[in-house]
Amino acid sequence: MADKKLDIVPLSGWGMFTDPQPSVVAGPCSAETEEQVMETAKGLKELGINVFRAGIWKPRTHPGCFEGIGVPGLKWLQKVQKEYGLKVATEVASEKHVAECLKHGIDMVWIGARTTANPFLVQEIADALAGTDIPVLVKNPVNPDLELWIGALERLSRAGVRKLGVIHRGFSTFDKIKYRNDPHWDIALEMRSRYPEIPFFTDPSHMGGSRDYILEISQRSLDLGLEGLMIEAHCNPETALSDSKQQLTPDQLKDMLHDQIVVREADSDSQEWKENIYQLRAKIDVIDENILYALASRMQISRQIGEYKKDNNVAIVQASRWDSLFDKVVKKGTEYGLPEKFMKDVFNAIHEASVEIQNEIISDKSSEH
Ligand code: PEP
Ligand code: MN
């Protein structure tokens, strides 16, 4: 069943992202003091940023951490609007937050990952936004659940929010990975292909969890054809009260945006999203990574089976088991339109490697005795 297109105003109609790609939102994780907010905003204004972010209410994992400055910080954001002409954005997690933002003339709000995971809160926020014209960005939920993310968009859309966009910040994972959150680009790409009309931002700061990864994640996101970035920047990241390891100074952000990032030529002037050769290649890279991950996971299980066979004196190759598995995958592959010979070559190679690993385990173990 095709997804129902959402009624969305393209980014060019939001009145805040006038620059060529990428569209950037930048600013500190948290508004901490008036001085920190103003100094960071000044630096960002100088490098050409138009939209300033700062968390006013902070969802922290542990109580007792800095949980945001609250309503007084909204006055500092008003000062940023007035002194530097920047648009300002903050996170909302309740109807009360929305009411305060509307009262203080905040230009845009976003829904954080922990809130998107909760349909009650998303509905409460959607109801509070009904009848307003304020742009809303929806971060992906912390868990890799595309439908939950889409459900949040549907709730906002039904409430009449038309300046609606998404932010991809990666998903919590128990696996040991280089980034703080798992990018799961496949989920992001699925969202993009199901709802190409929705403006798409990536948040390399929360995805990477370290300033070292901001450039590579941003580049990857642009190569995939995603048009926006939300990046944390702080006038003095070392002293930041939250997320100090992942924030850039305005100067570092300037180097990245002006000198390091490669922006590929746009396909056309239209707002329509189309894939160019870079995006198609970047998609292949995502799929290759998933194939490697799947192969490595399969091999890991083969190893465990090897241990079991060793401990229970079971033969490594059990022909009947392999024959039925082989027939099943080859049949499945042909249903997907994959050539039979190719399927046979691939799965024979996988089987051989698996037998080899199990042989190694058994000979290793025998030498222990
Ligand atoms: C944030 O943007 O500061 C934030 C808390 O992000 P997330 O909801 O992605 O964790
Ligand atoms: Mn943060």
Tens of pLDDT, residues 21-61: 799 999 999 999 999 999 999 999 999 999 999 999 999 88
Dist CA 156 CA 238 (whole Å): 37
Dist CA 170 CA 246 (whole Å): 14
Look up residue 222 and give its amino acid. L
**pTM of the predicted protein model:** 0.84
Give the residue among 281, 282, 285 at the shortest CA–CA distance from 293. 285
Give the residue among 153, 155, 79, 100 at the shortest CA–CA distance from 124. 155
pLDDT at 369: 46
Burial class of residue 218 (count of CB atoms within 10 Å of its CB; 0-12, 13-18, 19+): buried
Query: Using a 6 Å cutoff on CB, does residue 168 contact ligand 1?
Result: no
Centroid of ligand 1 to alpha carbon of 126 (angstroms): 19
Bridge partner residues of 202 (DSSP): 168, 229
pLDDT tier, 190 (very low <50, low <70, confident <90, very high otherwise): very high
3-state SS record for 176-208: CCCCCCECCHHHHHHHHHHCCCCCEEECHHHHH
Dist CA 79 CA 69 (whole Å): 16
The answer for residues whose C-beta is within 8 angstroms of residue 120's C-beta and 6 or more apart is none
Give the residue among 264, 194, 254 at the shortest CA–CA distance from 40. 254
pLDDT tier, 221 (very low <50, low <70, confident <90, very high otherwise): very high
Dist CA 286 CA 280 (whole Å): 10
Q: What average pLDDT does range 9-14 have in this prediction?
A: 95
Torsion angles phi and psi, residue 246, rounded to 5: -110, 5
Centroid of ligand 1 to alpha carbon of 246 (angstroms): 12
Cβ pair 199, 11 in contact under 8 A:
yes
Cβ pair 81, 105 in contact under 8 A:
yes
Dist CA 5 CA 187 (whole Å): 18
Residue nearest to atom 10 of ligand 1 (CA): 113
Task: Give the range among 137-141, 202-206, 296-300 with minimum mean pLDDT.
Answer: 296-300
Residue 230: nearest ligand to its CA?
1
Dist CA 127 CA 216 (whole Å): 38
Q: How far is CA 70 from CA 7, 29, 130, 366, in A?
A: 33, 13, 23, 65
Which atom of ligand 1 is nearest to 59's Cα? 5
Which atom of ligand 1 is nearest to 30's Cα? 3
74-105 tens-digit pLDDT: 999 999 999 999 999 999 999 999 999 999 99
Residue nearest to atom 6 of ligand 1 (CA): 112
